[in-house]
């Protein structure tokens, strides 16, 4: 942009902030001037005039947080503020991760798409039916709708494998491999999406990702040839990121071949530490490091949060990736209760949990599963106690105790499980790995039982300030400049002259995320789990204030941009 005539007032001046510019340089006290959505001055003492001036002495200023792993694809069609991310300091979010998108989608496939999301991403079917604006069919039409609606933050979108597969194969998408003709048709859709501004191509092979009726999500049925051809279709535009949530059967060597053949970066999720198989995630990170040493671009998505999830046995996401749980998938009400009561079903689950696995969400650690909320008054004494302790008191196996309790309460008992990523030293090692990308908020999914949208605040407050396992400078870099570079975002991720004024003003002494609580603002008044930011004084997107210490500013203009051009 041309230089601003500083004889005229700039729009915003933030004075005397401790500026973390996104690089690994040490922070400095500076004045930051913003005009027409861009940073126009970074000086020790700005002498021009401003329409608005903020005294930031004692506070820190950084680029806005870039959240590279969200699932706002459905929510953004009814909630342009993509709550709660803006109040958490997020100024750019990437949607379409794991390939669980809602575009492209034919009208006859909308019900199936919503039911798949209900299962795989823990979304309410009623909320989706009431909320989704289906004013599109193709991916370009979806992007055009997002641009027309606007958003509070910047949005970049992957084209999703499962949606592409469903468009081409219909109800067969989650049941068989594709034919060469079907692969060609999918490749054409991927190319069309890239031409419309998709960030890249996202998919999943994770056994935890099941859709309606317990069937695998469509992408899990893809052959290696299908994966290769769709990755090459993405790369035919000379850009794009291939993103995959990897199942154990998908080898790192194959992913390296995708990156090498396409010449495009491969982003691997979800690399979480498993205390019952502690070396597995480090083996994956070592393979990624080796690929990069050979000039093949790969990166691993890691989380700075323990993977903790509330659940009921009416929708027991933590165990739905177990082979032995499949008989319960797709069942409801009396049929589900009968299955959960069956002794042979329970024994099969116990047998599988007793075996060591490369990766699974739940690893038989019942001491990390607690009763959160009971439905019957005489069970209230169980609340906040671990299932392991309660089972021991009752003289029962832990699985039997949990299922028996749930069944007596008509499957309404709420449990919470700390599933993965609970070892501080191991997680710290992952976060500091040069080939890891701090991510995996899953914002927009699992709304009833999970919320890590404040992951960036947790990295700054818990890992950098409280534990000192990285410097604040390193933490800021991990949340801003690094993801901007990996994703190819233009003019974002740094505080530099001419860059977009995506900013977060915060107090380094208090920044963090508050305790979780429920709010009832989804379509139909349905509940979602929320957390509040602490220590955040201001969040700006393209120079527009969208949140402050009181939270989201819903009266603000929707200043976010739909990002369609990438480096």
109-135 pLDDT, tens digit per residue, is 999 999 999 888 878 899 999 999 999
pLDDT score recorded for residue 5: 54
pLDDT in tens, 532-542: 999 999 999 99
**Residues composing the chain:** 567
- The Cα 237–Cα 229 span in angstroms is 14
Residues paired with 519 in a beta bridge: 528
Show the 3-state SS of 38-93. EEEEEECCCCCCECCEEECCCCEEEECEEECCECCCCHHHCCCCCCCHHHHCEEEE
pLDDT score recorded for residue 446: 82
- The Cα 79–Cα 59 span in angstroms is 31
What is the chain's Cα-based Rg? 23
pLDDT score recorded for residue 358: 65
- What angle do the packed helices 343-353 and 398-408 form, to 10 degrees? 140
pLDDT in tens, 7-34: 689 999 999 999 999 999 999 999 999 9
- The Cα 244–Cα 148 span in angstroms is 29
- The Cα 241–Cα 161 span in angstroms is 13
* Angle (nearest 5°) at CA 454 between 450 and 458: 115
Check if the beta carbon of residue 151 is closer than 8 Å to that of residue 546: no
Read off the pLDDT band of 1 (50, 70, 90): very low
Question: What are the sequence ranges of the domains in the chain?
Answer: 12-58, 65-306+422-488+519-533, 310-417
Check if the beta carbon of residue 218 is closer than 8 Å to that of residue 169: yes
pLDDT in tens, 508-559: 999 999 988 889 999 999 989 899 999 999 999 999 999 999 999 998 889 9
pLDDT in tens, 439-497: 999 999 988 778 899 999 999 999 999 999 999 999 999 999 999 999 999 999 999 99
- pLDDT above 70 for 63: yes
* Angle (nearest 5°) at CA 49 between 46 and 55: 65
Extract the runs of DSSP E, i.e. beta strands, from 297-405. Answer: 298-302, 307-311, 369-373
pLDDT score recorded for residue 2: 45
Check if the beta carbon of residue 119 is closer than 8 Å to that of residue 93: no
Percent of all residues in the chain with a pLDDT value above 70, rounded to a whole number: 98
pLDDT in tens, 417-434: 988 898 999 999 999 999
pLDDT in tens, 303-338: 999 888 889 999 898 998 899 999 999 898 999 999
pLDDT in tens, 140-188: 999 999 999 999 999 999 999 999 999 999 999 999 999 999 999 999 9
- By C-alpha distance, which of 48, 37, 63, 153 is closest to 496? 63
Percent of residues in the chain assigned helix, strand, coil, to nearest 5:
35, 20, 40
Q: How far separated are the first and last CA of the chain, in Å rounded?
A: 17
pLDDT score recorded for residue 450: 80
- What angle do the packed helices 161-169 and 180-195 form, to 10 degrees? 130
Cα 459 → chain centroid: 15
> What is the mean pLDDT of the segment spanning 84-101?
98
CATH topology (fold) of 65-306+422-488+519-533: TIM Barrel (3.20.20)
pLDDT score recorded for residue 317: 86
- The Cα 171–Cα 218 span in angstroms is 9
Residues paired with 241 in a beta bridge: 200
Read off the pLDDT band of 342 (50, 70, 90): very high
pLDDT score recorded for residue 6: 65
Q: Give per-residue burial for 379-411: e unless 16+ CB within 10 Å, then b.
A: eeebeeebbbebbeeeebebbebbbbbbbebeb
Cis bond leading into 270, ω under 30°? yes
- pLDDT above 70 for 277: yes
- pLDDT above 60 for 371: yes
DSSP H/E element including 428: helix 424-431
Helix (H, G, I), strand (E, B) or coil at 566: strand
- The Cα 486–Cα 24 span in angstroms is 16
Distances in whole angstroms, Cα of residue 249 to Cα of each of 179, 269, 358, 409: 21, 14, 9, 38
Q: What global pTM score does this model have?
A: 0.91
- The Cα 493–Cα 491 span in angstroms is 7
β-bridge pairing 28-35 and 38-43: antiparallel
Check if the beta carbon of residue 211 is closer than 8 Å to that of residue 115: yes
Percent of all residues in the chain with a pLDDT value above 90, rounded to a whole number: 87
pLDDT score recorded for residue 449: 75
């Amino acid at each position: 942009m041309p230089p601003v005539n500083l004889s005229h007032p700039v729009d915003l001046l933030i004075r005397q902030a401790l500026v973390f510019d996104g690089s690994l340089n040490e922070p400095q006290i500076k004045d930051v001037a913003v005009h027409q959505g861009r940073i126009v001055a970074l000086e020790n003492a700005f002498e021009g005039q401003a329409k608005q001036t903020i005294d930031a002495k004692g506070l820190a200023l950084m680029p806005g947080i870039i959240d590279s792993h969200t699932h706002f694809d459905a929510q953004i069609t009814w909630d342009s503020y993509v709550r709660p991310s803006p109040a958490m300091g997020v100024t750019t979010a990437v949607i379409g991760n794991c390939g669980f998108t809602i575009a492209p989608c034919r009208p006859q496939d909308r019900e199936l798409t919503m039911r798949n999301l209900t299962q795989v991403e823990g979304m309410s079917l009623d909320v989706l039916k009431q909320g989704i604006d289906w004013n599109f069919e193709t991916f370009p039409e979806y992007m055009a709708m997002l641009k027309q609606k606007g958003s509070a933050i910047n949005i970049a979108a992957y084209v999703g494998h499962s949606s592409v597969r469903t468009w081409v194969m219909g109800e067969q998408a989650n049941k068989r491999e594709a034919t060469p003709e079907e692969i060609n048709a999918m490749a054409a859709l991927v190319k069309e999406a890239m031409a419309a501004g998709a960030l890249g191509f996202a998919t999943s092979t994770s056994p935890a990702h099941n859709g309606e009726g317990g069937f695998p999500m469509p992408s899990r049925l893809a052959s290696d040839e299908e994966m290769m051809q769709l990755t090459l279709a993405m790369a035919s535009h000379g850009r794009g990121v291939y993103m995959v949530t990897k199942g154990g059967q998908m080898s790192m060597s194959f992913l390296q071949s995708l990156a090498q053949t396409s010449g495009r970066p491969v982003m691997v999720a979800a690399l979480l530490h498993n205390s019952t198989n502690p070396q597995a995630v480090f083996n994956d990170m070592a393979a990624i490091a080796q690929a990069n040493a050979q000039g093949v671009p790969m990166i691993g998505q890691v989380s700075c949060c323990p993977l903790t999830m509330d659940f009921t046995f009416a929708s027991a996401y933590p165990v739905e990736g177990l082979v032995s749980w499949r008989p319960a998938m797709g069942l409801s009400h009396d049929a589900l209760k009968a299955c959960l009561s069956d002794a042979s079903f329970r024994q099969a689950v116990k047998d599988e949990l007793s075996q060591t696995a490369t990766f699974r969400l739940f690893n038989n650690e019942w001491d990390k599963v607690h009763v959160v909320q009971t439905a019957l008054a005489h069970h209230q004494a169980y609340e906040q106690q671990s299932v392991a302790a309660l089972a021991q008191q009752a003289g029962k196996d832990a699985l039997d105790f949990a299922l028996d309790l749930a069944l007596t309460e008509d499957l309404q008992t709420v449990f919470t499980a700390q599933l993965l990523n609970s070892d501080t030293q191991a997680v710290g090692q992952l976060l500091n790995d040069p080939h890891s990308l701090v991510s995996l908020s899953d914002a927009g999914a699992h709304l009833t039982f999970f919320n890590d949208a404040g992951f960036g605040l947790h990295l700054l407050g818990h890992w950098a300030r409280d534990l000192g396992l990285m410097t604040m400078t390193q933490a800021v870099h991990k949340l801003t400049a690094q993801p901007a570079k990996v994703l190819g975002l233009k003019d974002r991720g740094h505080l530099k002259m001419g860059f977009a004024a995506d900013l977060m003003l915060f107090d380094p002494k208090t920044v963090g995320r508050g305790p979780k609580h429920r709010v009832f603002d989804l379509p139909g008044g349905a509940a979602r789990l929320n957390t509040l930011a602490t220590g955040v004084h201001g969040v700006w997107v393209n120079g527009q204030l969208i949140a402050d210490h009181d939270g989201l500013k819903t009266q603000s203009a929707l200043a976010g941009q739909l990002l369609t051009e990438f480096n």
